[in-house]
Structure 1
Amino acid sequence: MWRGGVQGLVSGDVRLPVCYNRTHSRGQHTEATPSAEVDVKRLDGEDTGIVEVVMRRHKARNALGHVFISQIDTNIMSMVPGVFCAGADLKERAAMNNISADSFVHRLRTLMTDIASMPMPTIAAMDGAALGGGLELALACDLRTAAYSAQMGLIETTRGLLPGAGGSQRLPRLVGISLAKELIFTGRRVGGQAALGLGLVNQATEQNQTGDAAYTEALVLAREILPQAPVAIRLAKEAMDRGIEVEMTKAMAIERLCYSMVIPTRDRQEGMAAFLEKRKPNYTGE
């Protein structure tokens, strides 16, 4: 869904996908077909380097079904007014036997893991409902923005289930074990403003007339990240993601390893030169 392969991502080709919910298209390049449930857009101009992945399953409120999951390779946004992602497609799930249901959830869990493991920063913007699998998708992203009017929650216990696509693990790591248990045990839905207070989202704002306030906030974040050194961003993400899973001594060793990989880069030399010459750096991802 991005230009080039993994090496291109590392070298700063297209490195900042933004997941968001909006009611109209702003992307300059699209790769959707009439039957596509996922639309990839690459922004240009000052936003070159930002990729949007748009969810198009309008009739099902972007519920996560087999075809839908197959077409989502990375981060997800929504063009459906008032809905980011309504979670799993319960009508489709009801028709599955036990083996099929387990296989489906495994695919969904793997997808979320792939999103979380991407080397570039990812942003999920929630302008509508992000429930169950929809919130699990947002939790798999690095950063989250929301409109105050957005509704989000891991509501699986109200359906006789538990979060099965990473939510039971990522939510405690984000907001703490006690609060995560409260939210999951009750199946509670929270609005964007409350989510900000809980630490569930990074930014929250009043909804605007076009229904894309969270997307606008996500784009501001994306534009702030985009000029920074791509190798440093990638390794900083790796250091944090790996380090948080181990005890402090091992975490420090991971940081040292990642830091050592930045030292020989041209971008580090460029950053130092730009500082001394009092100019903006021109990073190339090398």
Structure 2
Amino acid sequence: MGGGGAMNVRRGIPLALGAGVLFGLSAPLSKLIVAGMDPIALAGVLYLGAFVAVSVGRLLGVTRGLHSEPLRRLDVPYVLTMIAVGGVVAPILLMFGVRAASGFTASLLLNFEGVTTAVIAWMFFRERVSGAVWAAVVLMTTTGVLLTGVAAGGRSSMVGPLLIIGAAIGWGVDNNVSARLSHCDPLILVSIKGLAAGLFSLGLSWATRGSLPAPGSLLAGLGVGCISYGVSLVLFILSLKVMGAARTGAFFAVGPLAGALLSLVIFRSPFTWSMAAALVLTAASIALVASEGLRTDGRQ
């Protein structure tokens, strides 16, 4: 790598790390808010916050220089799937899961999104999945078992983690669908998803509960969505422009670890051996997927 390439990586790493950390904070911060707010409403408000942030990013020209094309009629089914699965179903499952599980568990299990994306691509789109990714699947499955409390014989703790894994599967579908829209401006796609899904979920909450959340909770949710989903994506795209997809994805993957560590601080959770093992397994799975991405990037 030449001097210019090294400089690009040095510029891109803080952007990617910032994007990952901000996204990782979403689980513990959402757990704080969801204690006094309908999970469906919070899911909607988070995406409305993302809509606000990416709209500002579009005005600032964040995606200027990235090749993009306008949406076509053939893209409509993919856009609708992206909104329904990635913008409505997955975040609602996550918010119910976050409410039922610990912040630590929710943060680490978000890493399932990466492996479910790869497995879904293999199952439905005939994409190659390497041995490293399969090893990451095994590690994250073991992590899931540890965090559900099955190994300790606990049953009541399974609901939250299973809901979070369901959300990760939903976002795995969303990621594969969004890959079919890679010719479009990513901020436009997130604007569409954020506004449509956010208004739908907030409306669904109002229809089922007959009222909207308190203004303080709404503002808190908008703030978290703006920072953890919106600003995180803007930083991700800036890093993408500087050092490419594989390296950006590798450093972005620290998000679940950052969220888990913050959860320990916020909620003062007792740190058990199973949590320590889950932390190590998650870090190992992240390293496997990241190293595979970097090797793939090097061959291109």
Which structure carries more strand by proportion? Answer: 1
Tell whether the structures are fold-level matches, with TM greater than 0.5.
no
Give the TM-score, by structure 2 length.
0.29
**Larger RCO: 1 or 2 (CA < 8 Å, sep 6+):** 2
Which structure carries more helix by proportion? Answer: 2
